[in-house]
Structure 1
């Protein structure tokens, strides 16, 4: 085996590991998003209750005179339930964070392997594609695109939770739509790239 073949094998081996990691992370990512749906429904409902309770002119009702602190008690109960649902979402967010970090690391590993080995690999080998194996250049580009989308989606969700306020009507009316914006684009993109690498991932690279 000459040097160029050896270095190409090293690079393809790292790309193989990286796309295997992406495939595993996509499965975890989809499961985490699915697990967020029910608590998000609850959060949306509780926000509506919180806003109604805050806006209600209950002091004018003679019925609640014996309970002057009823609004405070109701809001406290809603806040406790909200915190519980947000905690459930944060458990899933940790899984998304782990996927984000793992994909970022693998993208870095593959780029590092490329820079270390590319001086010994002819350009035509970097650009070469076969019916069962995409070009090295394409796979590197796909990994970078996946990393960008995953980073973007994770940090958008993280920011959403950081600025969350149950009294912000504008931010809670379309809560689920805002939360899931971009999710399907990410999933479709990653699944498309994984389909291109399906035969490559079945290979045993030594």
Structure 2
């Protein structure tokens, strides 16, 4: 059926997008991890500095030293936050790319649902998932990438002068990891793209990276 063939092609393009962008997604997240750890370290340094009374130390000859050190720490925080914002923009681009492919496939499904043979859509074998299964996987994958918004919200709530918040930033960031969900999506993508009949029927060129970081 032409409608089924078109839908299968759209689904495959979506899975290719998931495959191509997964490595970029993981790479950006890995770049963010040490930046969040550095934010925590700066928060600790700011806390330690706030407890020091320079006037009671041999450094009292430099009355503005504490203020200057605080200024340098705040500058370092600003730099890290900017680098993290840049990476959030990259994650947004990846999420939008994946979401666009998934939305196109789901829209095509809705448009052709009336003429779609239910038996064909739900038919699966020992080597091939059903079209309905693959559409469900795509929705799961899109929900996974949508979790990026939680990371973006966390970043937006960070304040350069909130020492406790900065200290806990790395822990809060790690709490948003979903290794089980990512592994499930990866397995589904590999399973689908290694299905020879589909692979032979639709050749899709791999996409270029969405964004590159310095």
Structure 1 length-normalised TM: 0.87
Note the C-alpha offset of 1:19.
0.7
Q: Does the alignment pair 1:89 with 2:84? A: yes
- Comparing 28-37 and 170-179, the one that deviates more: 170-179
Question: Where do 5+ consecutive residues of structure 1 fail to align?
Answer: none
Matched, 1:119 2:114: yes
Matched, 1:159 2:156: no
Q: Distance in 1 between matches of 2:153 and 2:55?
A: 36
Which residue does the alignment assign to 2:207? none
2:186 aligns with 191
- Superposition pairs for residues 1-206 of structure 1, below 5 Å? 5-61=1-57, 63-152=58-147, 154-168=148-162, 170-183=164-177, 184-200=179-195, 202-205=199-202
Deviation at 1:107, TM superposition (A): 1.6
Note the residue ranges of structure 2 that are not aligned, 5 or more in a row. 204-214
Paired residues in the alignment total 200
Normalised TM-score (structure 2)? 0.84
Distance 2:180 2:70 in 1: 37
Higher relative CO (CA 8 A, sep ≥ 6), structure 1 or 2? 2
User: What is the Cα-based RMSD across aligned positions, in Å?
Assistant: 2.0
Q: Distance in 1 between matches of 2:156 and 2:55?
A: 33
